[in-house]
Amino acid sequence: MRGEEFVAEKKREVFEWLKALAVAVVIAVAVRGFLFTPVLVEGASMNTALEDRERVIVSKIGDIDRFDIVVFHRDEQQDYIKRVIGLPGDRIEYKEGTLYVNGVPVEESYLDEQKEKLHGDLTKSLTLEETAVGQATVPEGHLFVMGDNRRDSTDSRHIGAIPIEEIVGTAKVVFYPLTDIRLIGN
């Protein structure tokens, strides 16, 4: 091979590598932007389902169901992670530590570990009117969310119903620390 052919071959090889790298970057940006994103859990409001400093994968696709753990934009600088308790149109009430959705008592088995550790009700009796929501039902286009660590959580009781358009997605997998990798269930 002559020198000119060698240089041309090397240029083609570098160009092919750059194309492959560019495609990989585009795919990574698309996946992170439209499908999944990693999120750091900060604080104790979701104990014991999620612990402070754990990292989770959040899915940006699919419907949001009651009891899903969601990440939402609290403001331009801060995201929160909480559990969906009420969907649009729901009437939410707590009486003597029991959740009522539209007048029907609902079991919150994900709180069992919290209940074993603490004495008394995790959640004081309340109706939506007594919270920052300030009305009888969850407004259309909004969700009522609470942290699992009810005694140490800033949530819809304090900040009001969350607009659905502020939802980043639902937490699906804890991926760090590596010793605690697990699927996130309801």
Q: 24: burial class by Cβ within 10 Å (0-12, 13-18, 19+)? A: exposed
Alpha-carbon gap, residue 88 to 178, rounded angstroms: 37
Alpha-carbon gap, residue 34 to 31, rounded angstroms: 5
Residue 45 is a catalytic residue: yes
Q: Output the CATH code of domain 41-183.
A: 2.10.109.10
Q: 153: burial class by Cβ within 10 Å (0-12, 13-18, 19+)? A: buried
38-83 residue pLDDT tens:
999 999 999 989 999 999 999 998 899 999 999 999 988 899 999 9
Of 45, 59, 125, 172, the active-site residue reads 45
69-123 residue pLDDT tens:
999 999 888 999 999 999 999 999 999 989 999 999 999 999 988 888 887 788 9
Residue 95 is a catalytic residue: no
Average pLDDT estimate for 16-35: 70
pTM to 2 decimal places: 0.83
Which DSSP state fits 120?
S
Of 82, 115, 124, 172, the active-site residue reads 82
Average pLDDT estimate for 33-41: 82
Q: Are 99 and 106 in contact (CB under 8 A)?
A: yes
Alpha-carbon gap, residue 82 to 86, rounded angstroms: 12
Which DSSP state fits 139?
P
**pLDDT > 60? residue 31:** no
